[in-house]
Structure 1
Amino acid sequence: MGNITKRGSRDLVADSTMLLEESLATAVHSKLYEAIIKEDCNTIKTLLRNHPVNQPLTILANSTSYRLLSQTQPIFPIHLAAEYRKPQSLLCLLQHGADPEVRDAQGLTTLHLMLLNWPISSSTWTKPSTRIQKILTDIQNNAVMCLRILCDHGAQVNARVDNSNKHSALHLAITYGTYPVLSFLAQNGAHVNAINESSMTPLHMAADILNKNMIETLIACGANVNCAISSTGNTALKLAVCTASSKAGRLLAAGVGCIRLLLHHGAQVNAQDHEGQTALHEACFGGREVIINLLLEFEANVNILTRNGESPIYMYLQRGSNIRDVTLLARLLYHTYPLRLSNKQGILPAGIMLPEFHLLRETLIKLSKKPLTLEAICKRNIRNVYGEKHKFHLKQLLPAKLWDSIYSVYDFTYLLK
């Protein structure tokens, strides 16, 4: 019995010692946590003697720290400083050996976490005047300072998130709308044409969401406007046209500026994806006139076929809502030759198969079987080669009557009514 009592006493002593150590560790964690939030660098330095700088902090639920403590994941001191945009604390931790590349449970480095928690500001003031404006300006300035400190201390700007997306810092900046940091990251060595797990570059992502500021910044930093996604063959132009031609794009009247910007910077208007579709195929299916006209202005070819033998006008005729715009249909017919109404399988577009378009279908079938004269074909080829963009330049080179005969609009609208 005496031996059992002695052994029990030793266990109690060991348990008490362990509880005491845990209590002391918790106290250190809480104090370090609060010191980082308050940017009390002297206290941080003192506490780091008892807590290794690259070990995570664990805070109990009843702690009085500033952080919401419902989460169960511990947090590294350097991550805490970065998330809360505490530049003095961040610098202090880095000077005492904090590793900016240490990753949290989601595979995020300190730089990644900074971008995920970047303050979103829609401010338009040049000088902050109200208290709120000053607070928002301070938050933004602190974020910029933290980013500079991280890059100055060797943060890897091309490190990828360790998850299924494999985003780089630039990809994250696009995803979370932090376009002001794009040029800074590029200046510090970020690969502007890096691809993620989906083979998308930052420019692909910016074009897909029609963010003109991001597109402009990325192009200025050297983004390749004609880079294609390996799995689909889509370019930034094709993605931008797809989004702008969607229902949401039409309702919001979005994307024209983005598409024009890409075209002005050399986007290949007739680039085909793996299915053989061009941006014009996508625009014609969407039926948004301003996008179709813009692509035609930049010499989009109306006669390119997909691998399945579908022309842009075939895509346009797929939807009944498009066909009701007789003027735009006539404009596409004006540029199209030969008129191919069916695909490789001999299937006609779904739109003209609707009962309400019976007469139009018969008219278009007759038109597709009616060959143009050699003169008309030559004139149409000239219009397609020079397009709307250069037709007035051509006017200076050709006799007036010849130019008038080339660009006289053959009115198809009467056939379509």
Structure 2
Amino acid sequence: MRELLEKGAEVDAEDGEGRTALSVALAGGKEAAARALLEVGAGVNSGTGRRPLHAAAEKGLVEMVRELVGKDAEVDAEDGEGRTALTVALAFGQEAVARALLEAGAGVNAGTGRRPFHAAAEKGMVEMVRELAGKGAEVDAEDGEGRTALTVALAFGQEAAARALLEAGAGVNAGTGRRPLHAAAEKGMVEMVRDLVDKGAEVDAEDGEGHTALTQALAGGKEAAARALLEAGAGVDAGTGQRPLHAAAMKGTVEMVRELVEKGAEVDAEDREGCTALTVALAFGQEAAARALLEAGAGVNAGTGRRPLHTAAEKGMVEMSCWGLVPSGQLDELPRRAFFQLWRAPMAM
């Protein structure tokens, strides 16, 4: 390396990713090479791609981080994703580096991309979450997907971090994207679901796709969380996206299908594609759920989208096609399209 420099190599030249040799050395954990580059004048803020400080933070090079800051590295400079070195350090679980950056004055709310708080929440770094909150981190700030740190913590199953955020005043209904209750429901975190509801979480709030927390719980097969939501008054027909009954039908949770119907779920309600829960159950090969829906009075011709019979035919579900959906004596009235789908499906398997 020294020989190359002596022959005129540009110390701050960038590679195809906008990184200087100093950034590359640090990204590989090569401290000796990094120091040699610094000795010959490598810029601590050079590069249009990843900065040297970000690379050192990711690798957990505490002393190098301090050295770069001492040489006037911009502590809150952003990488191509809008993240500061503090966010990068936390995202990679480098707590010692994060503390060194905080000591150097790193902003707890800095960065136009992901915030430090979100990174700490995702990693379940409870003490760091508390420290960031104590230093003024905006507890309900949103990431690029409209999620707060509380939602992120729950989405990654970090219950201890989530509780630390709640203690710091995190809003249970905050966020323009996915809500905390949806994340907890999808993960099957029953006690957290109950706690959020007790703290005022809107039980039938919708996410960006029009799904309620109940639909999310059922789509993930989390029956205990779904029952906790039902106990809290979740609407069985709530949501402008997929309905709870459709989600239960898709997962084949027969008892849940029966329970939703008993609680008044519209058995022939349609999803955005015009399919009923019966069609959805058949589309996912959930024959037991389909039979439960038929027992509950599901219409065999209901739906403005795909019909149940066509779906059963495509899946090659012969018993369901010929005896579950078609009234006795009407087998010769099978729609031509369904007939051809019925015999084509087994051949494609």
What is the TM-score when the length of structure 1 is the normalising length? 0.51
2:140–2:175 Cα contact (<8 Å) kept: no
* 1:236 CA drift (Å): 1.3
CA 1:340 to 1:159, structure 2 compared with 1: closer, same or farther past 3 Å?
same
Residue 237 of structure 2, aligned match among 266, 270, 293: 270
Count of residues paired in the alignment: 274
In structure 2, the partner of 1:205 is 183
Q: Distance in 1 between matches of 2:239 and 2:266?
A: 11
Q: Deviation string for 1:159-189 (max 9, x for gaps)? A: 333x5x3442123213433121213213323
1:292 deviation in Å? 1.3
Selected match of 2:301 from 341, 358, 361 = 341
State how far apart, in whole Å, the 2-side matches of 1:308 and 1:243 are: 21
Q: Which residue of 2 aligns with 1:177?
A: 157
Q: Is 1:287 the equivalent of 2:248?
A: no
Structure 1 position 100 matched with structure 2 position 82: no
Closer, same or farther: CA 343–298 of 1 in aligned 2, 3 Å: closer
Superposed, 1:125-140 pairs within 5 Å as: none
Query: Which residue of structure 2 aligns with residue 146 of structure 1?
Result: 128
Q: Alpha-carbon deviations, 1:323-359, whole Å to 9, x = none? A: 4x4xx6665344327x442433794523554573364
Mark the structure with the bigger radius of gyration.
1
Structure 1 366/149 Cα, relative in aligned 2: closer, same or farther at 3 Å? same
Identity %: 23
- Cα deviation 1:52-99 (Å, max 9, x = unaligned): 696379xxxxxxxxxxxxxxxx97479758943349x83x86577442
1:300 aligns with 2:265: yes
The 8 Å contact of residues 204 and 235 in structure 2, kept in 1 or not, is answered as yes
What is the CA–CA distance in structure 1 between the aligned matches of 2:73 and 2:263, rounded to whole Å? 57
* Kept in 2: contact 1:263–1:298 (CA 8 A): no
- Structure 1 unaligned runs (5+)? 1-17, 39-43, 58-73, 119-142, 245-254, 368-417
Instruction: Check the 8 A contact 2:87/2:115 in 1, yes or no.
Output: no
* Pairing partner for 1:155 from 127, 137, 141: 137
* Equivalent position of 1:84 in the other structure: 94
> Which ranges of structure 2 fall in alignment gaps of 5 or more residues?
1-36, 45-52, 78-82, 331-349
Return the alpha-carbon distance in structure 1 between the equivalents of residues 110 and 117 of structure 2. Answer: 10
Asked if the contact 1:352–1:360 (Cα under 8 Å) also holds between the matched residues in 2, the reply is no
- One-letter amino acid of the counterpart of residue 238, structure 2: A
Residue of structure 2 equivalent to 1:356: 318
Shift of 1:260: 0.6
Following TM superposition, by how much is the alpha carbon of 1:312 offset from its aligned partner in structure 2, in angstroms?
A: 3.3
Structure 2 SS opposite 1:349: helix
Query: What TM-score, normalized to structure 2?
Result: 0.60
Partners of 2:38 and 2:245 lie apart in 1 by: 70
Alpha-carbon distance in structure 2 between the residues aligned to 1:290 and 1:349: 23
Amino acid at match of 2:107: D
Q: Alignment partner of 2:128: what SS?
A: helix
Map of 2:193 onto structure 1: 215
Change (3 A) 1:366 1:217: farther
Amino acid at match of 2:166: A
Structure 1 residues 279 and 256: CA distance shift in structure 2, 3 A: same
